[in-house]
Structure 1
Amino acid sequence: MLSLNSTIYVAGHRGMVGSAIVRRLHTLGYHNLVVRTHAELNLCNQADVQAFFDAEKPDAVVLAAAKVGGIHANNTYPADFIMDNLLMECNVVRAAHHSGCQHLLFLGSSCIYPKLAPQPMREDALLTGILESTNEPYAVAKIAGIKLCESYNRQHGRDYRSVMPTNLYGENDNFHPDNSHVIPAMMRRFHEAKLRGDAEVVVWGTGKPMREFLHVDDMAAASVHVLLLDEATYKANTQPMLSHINVGTGVDCTIAELAHTMARVVGFEGRLSFDTTKPDGTPRKLMDVTRLKSLGWQYTINLEDGLKRTYAWYQQNVDQVRQL
């Protein structure tokens, strides 16, 4: 069991999820946190990562560092997405084990599940079908991370856990107009259209796909909840070869519904249209969160409230965001 004096290394602490996890740990009284920027520690360099672990010897690791992006970025940089994520996962998990670190939490993604997985997607849908082609390299890397953790648990008796979040959004997100996920890309587009006085905003795809969205503060709360569970409780709700846990709301909406909600939150009063020449991606992605609820956690921030919080942050940091 971890105590408030335990040393916890949060990899990716400046990203959207990592920064939220740091905030959550601080709120709970965990102040012995270890962090490094990319300039200080390149997680793709095995020797540097091992040297860091040998020096710091953390009691626990939260592996929130990853190369992430939306459909456009995944289609454009597939080699980068699979290689960088595999390197980071392998280097951190290996170094954690060799430094004697018993506790690790790996953050994955809902894209690990087959494109046409039965909805809502249960944990046992993993490896039962073909992945969505637009982000397959990233998904394969995340699946490898899950299996890496499971393998160290089986062979070495480690307590390495994995959580698979649904689509995340919130403060410190990437708002790049091309390489970001749907909510930040859409928020920036609607905001800039409002400022220009545009009569119309064009949304990629048909608007028909259904997506589930989770605010990053809820994701952080769920992640820390799973990390701090006693081992007996965690094992009672997982299996050696099926150890990952879905994290989501269990509620979804169409992209068209999201767009109309976004317009309302941002204050854009023009019309919406849909560019059907752009890819939709997976038809539906809804997480089955039964396992997580049985472990005593469920979400607290609904979509519209979460978008309002995110837009307030965006407006306060718009100059920084526009540099992207």
Structure 2
Amino acid sequence: RLSGDEFGITVEYENQQQLNQFIKNIKLLFKNEFVINNLPMSLSISIGIALHPEHGDDAFELLKHADSALYKAKKEGKNRYIIFNKEFEEELKEKIELEQSIREALGKEEFFFVYQPIIDLNTNNIVGAEALIRWQSEKLGFVSPAKFIPLAEESDLILEIDEYVLRKNLEFVEKLMRGNINHLNIALNFSAKFFRKGLVYKKLSEIIKDKNICRCIELEITEREIMQDVEENLKTLNLLKSMGFKISIDDFGTGYSSLSYLKKLPIDLLKIDISFIRDIPEDMNDVVITKTIINMAHNLGLKTIAEGIEREEQLYFLKDEGCDYGQGYYFSKPLPEKEFIELIKKGGLDA
């Protein structure tokens, strides 16, 4: 076992056909679902391969090159195998350099946040915002979250980013409260690792001195993250709920979930994924799914929020169906902290 979810296997083979059969046998092990705590779970496997002597003369070099191939396999969509190619070395070098840049950025506080307003669809008032992390690197310029977040998630770097998100946005909420802006909810996203290891509760308990801050923070977790360890996450969510935080399920409807667990979760909101919002009201399948999520949520006593609203037709549909909240470029792009505060002080979007 090389790390939490990475394993090394040494195989002797006489020809390519034998190697291909060995790989096929491993992949077959993951073809069927695993049943864990009476829940069916589907797992994918990615394999990176380095051959001796073509790709190295010792274990260190072979492992390094197998890791390069594994990184490539994951990058190209996972659930596949790739044999090392010398071109991968450059990609691995870039990966290592980017990881080092992330570490330096955390120390230099190069990460910052923009805030996308969340609107009450009944009153058109701003009731909160989602905090979105951004990175303006001194060396690399602007680096997209789509590039650095997946890389950070491959290591424990994501936990350091999670803690940074937490600390900086608690400071932001305190700043809002000092300015008598105490009616907004700031929604924060964390990684599955941060929830699964119970670190989010531990860190919040350590940092928060004023319990009034809790009611101004909404913690988002995806249903995929919840289902990775339902019982443990349920304990963590109950502890967070007892502190006064609001809890929402992000990207609802896109992952595997059990409705029997949904009713047990101490949640306040379901966030309807943008993939269902994008083509309404034209796409009838998305219309049916969105209506169902809204009705189900309300029957369970939950609120709903739609993300990715960009057109008037989408807004009218969601209002007619009773969706509670919305966010998207139709209302506002994500705003820098200063612009967001100015918008609130001016009275919101109507102003």
> Normalising to structure 1: TM-score of the pair?
0.29
Structure (1 or 2) with the greater strand fraction: 2
Greater relative contact order, per chain length (Cα 8 Å cut-off, separation 6+): 1
The structure with the larger Rg is 2
